[in-house]
Structure 1
Amino acid sequence: MAAVAAAVAPFLGWHVRWMSVRAHYEAFPLVVLGAAVLAWVRFRGAPARAGSGPAESWAVWAGLAAGWAGLVAAEVLSSSWLACVSVMVLIPALAYGIGGREVLRRVLPAWGMLWLLVPPPMDLDRLLILQLQGLTTAWSSAVLDALDVFHLAAGNVIEIDGRSLLVEQACSGINSLFSLLACTLFLVLLTRRGWGRGVFLMLAAVGWVLAANVARVVLVALLETRWGVTAATGWRHEAIGVVLFVLAVGLLLSTDRLLEFLTRSGAVGGDVPRPVSGGNPEQGPARPSRVGRFAAIVVPAFLALVGLHWAARGDQPVLPVASPLPLATNPELLPVKVGAWERREFGTETRETHSFFGEYSQNWLYALPELAVKASLAYPFPGWHDLTWCYRSTGWQIDGQEVVAPATVPGGFVQVRMSKPGFRHGFLVFCEFDRSGRPFIARPGGAREPLFRHEAALERFRSRLEGRPAPPLDPTGAAYQFQVFVEGASVLTPEGEEAVRQLFVSLQSAVRERWAAEHAVKP
């Protein structure tokens, strides 16, 4: 047990850090607490059982081997998802090895609860967020039509009286969906609801969350238009979300009581006492010799994982991490003129924490006589941030994107061509770096981004085996995203794209050089 715990601890810490910077998983500590409560309830007063012993079951060997192989692959591919799944495979194997079927049976409810900590693979949770945003926007628009509120829905933006209300991920329901699903699953497992009733309650939870978040968007729109109360951000927005979440929990409990009435079930579904048998008398505890042979194989195998982890990551340089505090409002961060381009306007924006567009941004408008470009510096992000998801959430369709790595832009940049209904076309160029100007490696967006991470990790592993210099790593700490964006009624010409690219190269260089100079003078 100690060897397995030491092997999985780095991966669990890795996954906890990953979840802690994503708003839709902010309730994950409650999932862990719920699993602990379920385990305590199931094991409370349980008699000691003599299991078959880990060395006497092929299932234990298979589970430990699969978990060990998954952790090795997770290390090589730098995949927190694969590491999390591997840990979930190890839990029932260890439970069965320690106490046989009885201990496994008691562990299963807590194990089922912990599956909520396993995110969808290939960043599919982002796609889920986008779909929920679209669904919430469409349903909210229908309700506003029924209330005779004149508005325009474009992508995930509702425009009312010249004001744009962006249906952010919090309004889409993803945050409260995870929390309510966790509450529902805890209720089902704690009270031992049947499979049919449990599945229906989970589906009902999704329905109530969607209804609550449509109500949230509609209420914000009505407060803005009819009473002049701003509730799209700030404490009012958060208070509305909390009240509606509590209402959704109450509606879910009411649904549970309705199902109990309809099924004529008088019992709440508590823990039904089971006769305690002494187990198979022919299966006693594993003999010391077998346990010793088992430990001689398992302990070195899992301790080798610890060595693999530190060999792969222990020599990485620890660079200073700057705190992602709001930058001082500074129009002069970018030059007044860049060739024929002239700086015309400047503004700042503050959004929700963990917003897809960044909590803070500074925006400049550069113009030629025939073309205007918006330049933005948005932050903070926990790492490389795929900006194409943000534009998709506002109604843009990605027509094509490519990674460009010129010598003038360390780390490279991504350029994207987009379109949206109404004959609108867009051209986007962006890159990312930390507070001192160190670059994040540019990578393709969408479903290809996770593949890039795994390929880069595999290439680093190969380079170590072959004694070659390893590819550069992304810096630690918050990412700052710099972009230039232009849109119009027609597709930008190749000459226009080249002019925008050259402006981007000059502007991002100005930011990096200034930040690098600021950090160079510090002791």
Structure 2
Amino acid sequence: MNTPAPSTAPAAASPVDRLPRLSPAQWAVAAAILVTALAVAPPAVNLIRWMVSREYYEHMPWLMLAAAVLAGFRLRANPTPIDITTSWRVMIWTGLAMMMTAGVYILPSRWMAGPAVLSLLMATIHFVGGTAAMLRMRGPMILFLACLPLPVLLDSWFVVRMQQLATWLASVWLDLFGVLHLATGVDIRTPGNNFVVEDACSGIHSMFAAITVGVGYGVLMRYRWYRILAIVVQMVFWVVVANAIRVFTVVYVQSQYGTDLSTGTPHQMIGLATFALGLLLAISSDHFFRYLHPPKSVADDDDDTPADAPDRLLDRPASARGIAIVLGGLAAVAVIGVLAFSQYSRMSKAPRSMQELAATSAIRFDAVGQDYLPAELAGWRQTGFDVNEKTADSIFGGMKSFIWRYTKGARSVLISLDGPYGDWHDLALCYSGVGWDVESRTAIDIADMPGPYKAAELNLDRPPFDRAQVLFACFDPRGASVDPPPDFGDAFYHLVNRLRWGVGDKQDYGGGVVQIQLLDQTPVELSTTQRNRNRELFEAVVRHAFGDAKGAQ
């Protein structure tokens, strides 16, 4: 019987055998990327949850999904072979990802998780596929970049500026049409009505959506980054114009025809129409510029570097010293993460609802009435009381304001108890949003309190007639002081602290923060004596509300 000869054909390679063999240096970089990904994943998830809770950013997760789907289509249409490399470009992106991940835990800051994830994706793409893979992923990465929320409180600043700009443009057109009105900040007053340009009317919601549409349009058209930036600028310009038309229409129709378009279905329809108008005008502008400057015949995400060009410095293999830097950075991330994680874990992982903040604040919002403050206080007499139920679009934030009017002789001031808030509440930003200029801001001590209590004082000016002094202080659920940021009154340090507060998360006080405010608004400059008497009344109010166990009950 003949025995069959053994086959000499090579055995089929397993999927594991098809993977490239890694050198020790490549394993070190892969480990750095993997550990950084594990470290940044929890705060990145928290960042996404926070964005979903914000009306401005609730569409961002869908943009992330669109970026992932586009990346899959690009890879399927143009497969890129795996080419493991430890170039200087990989080292730089890996180092940035590790440093930003460390910043997440040091500040602590959930926002820093966004750029950390972007840097980590850049490092991974360059590590696995080199520059060729990055060119194919340029569009999806631009979409991921557009998902980042604004840092440094710029979203709040943007809201205010959009409201003011929409008010100003609408006021100009009302002047042209002969409508009698007075515009101050975000307020338009006519003889029979008072219109407040809130967030929705200012176009801030449609603005972020329009920017997203502009970036997506540029990516699908395979524009280069500067053309995409031009599209975004056009979107911003035309959406501002369209929403100013929206404000103008509401005020004009109400003033001339007595028809209220400021609420309900008509207001929503006007908003949709102006949003569509802004998009169409922006795309029309793009077609006009394409006519003036036609794009190249090749796809804009192709690499136009000549084939015989020398290797770029950042694409050359990293030296042993570069690998050592990666290993050192990996060790630093591990140490910082272990030491600082307890600090991050104490931060609020998800924004509390207004009702949750109110239920855990130092006061019972459903029990506050006119008798919460006495009829006589520090020589002032209570002469009025009102309750302001705030909407979600209110620039002053919070859920309720309880407002008392106190009178002494010919002078009259307002005392308000506001909240709840998630942290110390900066009224300078709020008053700026309604047309006031902040001339000065200082931190002051509150006397005769059981412990160090600090407040803030603002001096305001709103041409042509208004001057104001504002005193305010914030209190945590135990009735203890929530102090203003350090160096609150110094312009430079205020900017530094704004950076820290905006990039970093704010302290979790275990519940809602409430605020006491005194407002003295006059047509003339207050004298030193008048200011001191206002401070005396403000301190008396704080002592009455939080000087003993009453505030926490």
TM-score by length of 1: 0.80
Match of 1:466 in 2: none
| One of 326, 334, 342 as aligned partner of 2:373 | 334
Question: Which residues in structure 2 correspond to 1:68-217 (within 5 Å)?
Answer: 68-194=98-224, 197-217=227-247
The Cα shift of 1:428 comes to: 0.3
Q: Sort the Cα spacing of 1:427 and 1:106 in 2 relative to 1 into closer, same or farther, 3 A.
A: same
How far did 1:388 drift?
0.7
| Percentage of pairs with the same residue | 27
Equivalent positions of 1:182-261 (< 5 A) are 182-194=212-224, 197-232=227-262, 237-256=267-286
C-alpha distance in structure 1 between counterparts of 2:298 and 2:246, whole Å: 33
Q: For each residue in 1:92-112, what CA deviation from the matched residue of structure 2 results, as whole angstroms up to 9, or x when unmatched?
A: 112111222232223322222
- 2: CA distance between counterparts of 1:60 and 1:8? 18
**Which of the residues 356, 359, 369 maps onto 1:323?**
356
TM superposition shift of 1:231? 4.4
Matched letter for residue 508 of structure 1: V
Deviates more, 1:483-492 or 1:263-272: 263-272
The 1:508/1:145 distance shift into structure 2, 3 A limit, reads same
Residue from 439, 463, 467 that aligns with 1:421 = 463
Aligned pair in 2 of structure 1 residues 152, 235: CA closer, same or farther (>3 Å)? same
Change beyond 3 A, Cα 1:27–1:501: farther
Contact residue 402 and residue 415 of structure 1 kept, 8 A = yes
> Is 2:484 aligned against 1:442?
yes
Larger Rg: 2
**Residue 33 in structure 1 maps to residue 65 in structure 2:** yes
CA distance 1:266–1:91, shift in 2 (3 Å): closer
Distance 2:224 2:199 in 1: 32
CA apart distance, 1:371: 1.3
Per-residue Cα deviation, 1:197-228 (whole angstroms, up to 9, x for no partner): 53443232112201121012112213432344
Structure 2 residue corresponding to 1:313, chosen from 341, 344, 354: 344
Conservation of the 8 A alpha-carbon contact between 2:93 and 2:119: yes
Instruction: Name the stretch that deviates more: 486-495 or 365-374.
Output: 486-495
Q: State the AA in 2 paired with 1:451.
A: V
* Residue number in structure 2 paired with 1:395: 435
Kept after mapping to 2: 8 A contact 1:34/1:186: no
The answer for unaligned runs of 5 or more in structure 2 is 1-32, 308-316, 318-322, 360-364
SS at match of 1:184: helix
Compute the RMSD of aligned alpha carbons: 4.0
Shift of 1:434: 4.0
Are 1:432 and 2:474 matched, yes or no? yes
| Alpha-carbon displacement from aligned partner over 1:387-415 (angstroms, at most 9, x marks no partner) | 11121222222111111133546541100
> In the alignment, residue 394 of structure 2 is paired with which amino acid?
S
Deviation at 1:246, TM superposition (A): 3.2
Query: Offset of 1:79 from its aligned partner?
Result: 4.5
Please list every run of 5 or more consecutive structure 1 residues that lacks an aligned counterpart in the other structure.
278-285, 287-291, 458-471
Match of 1:481 among 510, 515, 520: 515
Give the Å deviation of 1:182.
0.8
1:460 matched to which residue of 2? none
Change (3 A) 1:314 1:75: closer
Cα deviation, 1:417-445, whole Å, max 9, x if unaligned, reads: 12221243210001223455343222327
Q: Which of the numbers 353, 360, 365 marks the counterpart of 2:392? A: 353
- Which range moves more in the overlay, 344-353 or 250-259? 250-259
Contact preservation (8 Å) 2:170, 2:245: yes
Distance 2:146 2:41 in 1: 19
Structure-1 residue corresponding to 2:8: none
Matched letter for residue 71 of structure 2: A
Aligned length: 489
CA distance in 1, matches of 2:221, 2:542: 57
In the superposition, relative to structure 1, how do residues 232 and 368 fare at CA in structure 2: closer, same or farther (>3 Å)? farther
SS of the equivalent of 1:323 reads helix
Relative to the length of structure 2, the TM-score reads 0.76
User: Does structure 2 conserve the Cα–Cα contact (< 8 Å) formed by 1:343 and 1:364?
Assistant: yes
Q: Distance in 1 between matches of 2:269 and 2:180?
A: 26
Distance 1:105 1:194, change over 3 A: closer
1:338–1:506 contact (8 Å) kept in structure 2: yes
In the alignment, the residues of structure 2 paired with residue 397 and residue 228 of structure 1 have an alpha-carbon distance, to the nearest angstrom, of: 34
The aligned residue for residue 496 of structure 2 is 451
SS in 1 for 2:515: strand
Helix, strand or coil for the counterpart of 2:153? helix
Corresponding position of 2:84: 52
Q: Distance in 2 between matches of 1:402 and 1:161?
A: 38
- Deviation for aligned residue 1:253: 4.1
Distance of 1:166 and 1:347 partners within structure 2: 19
Match of 1:384 among 421, 424, 428: 424
The answer to whether the Cα contact below 8 Å between 2:135 and 2:303 also exists between their aligned partners in 1 is: no
Aligned to 1:289: none
Q: Is 95-104 or 503-512 further displaced after alignment?
A: 503-512
Task: Give the Cα–Cα distance (whole angstroms) in 1 for the partners of residues 382 and 118 of structure 2.
Answer: 54
- Decide whether aligned partners of structure 1 residues 57 and 197 sit closer, same or farther in structure 2, where only a CA change above 3 A counts: closer
Cα deviation digits, residues 439-488 of structure 1 (max 9, x gap): 3222327775563377799xxxxxxxxxxxxxx95514443332110011
Structure 1, 367-376 or 41-50: larger mean CA deviation:
41-50
Cα 1:314–1:350 shift into 2, 3 Å = closer
Q: Match of 1:134, as an amino acid?
A: Q
SS in 1 for 2:416: strand
Please state if 1:9 is matched with 2:12: no
Q: Say if 1:7 and 1:166 are closer, same or farther in 2 by CA, change over 3 A.
A: same
SS of residue in 2 equivalent to 1:87: helix
The one-character-per-residue Cα deviations of 1:263-306 (angstroms, maximum 9, x if unpaired) are 678999799999xx9xxxxxxxx9xxxxx999976765544453
- Call closer, same or farther: CA 1:382–1:46 in 2, change over 3 Å: farther
* Structure 2 residue aligned with 1:280: none
Change in CA separation of 1:91 and 1:477 when aligned onto 2, cut-off 3 Å? farther
Q: Equivalents in 2 of 1:349, 1:258: separation in Å?
A: 49
Whether contact under 8 Å (2:80, 2:132) holds in the other structure is: no
Q: How far apart are the structure 1 equivalents of 2:418 and 2:264?
A: 19
One-letter amino acid matched to 1:340: G
AA partner of residue 534 (structure 2): V
Matches within 5 A, 1:272-287: none
Structure 1 distance, partners of 2:299, 2:258, is: 49
DSSP 3-state at the match of 2:509: coil
- What's the secondary structure of 2:271's corresponding residue? helix
